[in-house]
A and B are shown apart, each in its own frame.
Chain A
């Protein structure tokens, strides 16, 4: 993640968790990048990533996905995992980041 910031890519995490829950996660895991709260899943819906009723208590959550957006706001890379234990590695993003202007 630090490498991403070095090449000028800002990572942003988004989930339905409240700001307090996200703060706990950031502290526990030592994350320094911004974590945004989307409790009503507005942005998650806009990105068509809603996984309805998949939370532990049947809440709507986000389906895991990663998007690399360039400085003009255009999507340059998308990763939609088919198994939520399998996530994109920073190296994959770095490779694409190098091709950005």
Chain B
């Protein structure tokens, strides 16, 4: 039996690991269902694992045309894939939890501190001003939702 030159399960497993990692930040992060818990990405990693195992076994078969190259490719790509999975777990589950405690934030029932900041047109906007602002039907808002976020630097 002729063995094809390319160890496709190995490469497919590696590529799938890469996709599993990158797709969270470029695709799945935009949808709360796939962002809050990255199940889609974990599924992709789960799909990559058997491919890699199969590819690794194949890489170490003695009847490979270039046994040394095959073994090195198998070891390197599998190690990289495991490292990619490790980085994903670190970035999504560990690093993202390194947030400072906030003992001094305004609590429910307390007055929200006022502030004046520039909007995207550079126009100053204050919390007090927002609460007193009127819409096209001359109604003041029932409330303001303040969303503090990290920014895109």
Contact = CB atoms under 8 A, between A and B. Distances in A.
Interface of A: 4, 7-17, 19-23, 25-26, 34-38, 42-44, 46-52, 54-57, 59, 61-78, 80-87, 89, 93, 97, 100-101
Given A14-B146, A23-B120, A85-B96, A55 B151 contact: yes
Contact of A62 (B29, B32, B151): B151
A55 B152 CA distance: 9
Given A48-B103, A80-B105, A64 B150 contact: yes
Nearest to B119: A34
Contacts, number: 208
Interface string B53-83: 0000000000000000000000000000000
Contacts of B130: 10, 12, 34
Most buried by A among B121, B128, B140, B142: B142
Interface of B: 29, 32, 35-38, 92-93, 96-97, 99-100, 102-115, 117-122, 125, 127-128, 130-131, 133, 139-153
Given A8-B143, A66-B145, A80-B105, 16 more contacts: A8-B142, A9-B144, A9-B145, A14-B146, A44-B148, A46-B115, A51-B99, A54-B150, A63-B148, A67-B148, A69-B144, A71-B131, A73-B111, A74-B110, A83-B96, A85-B38
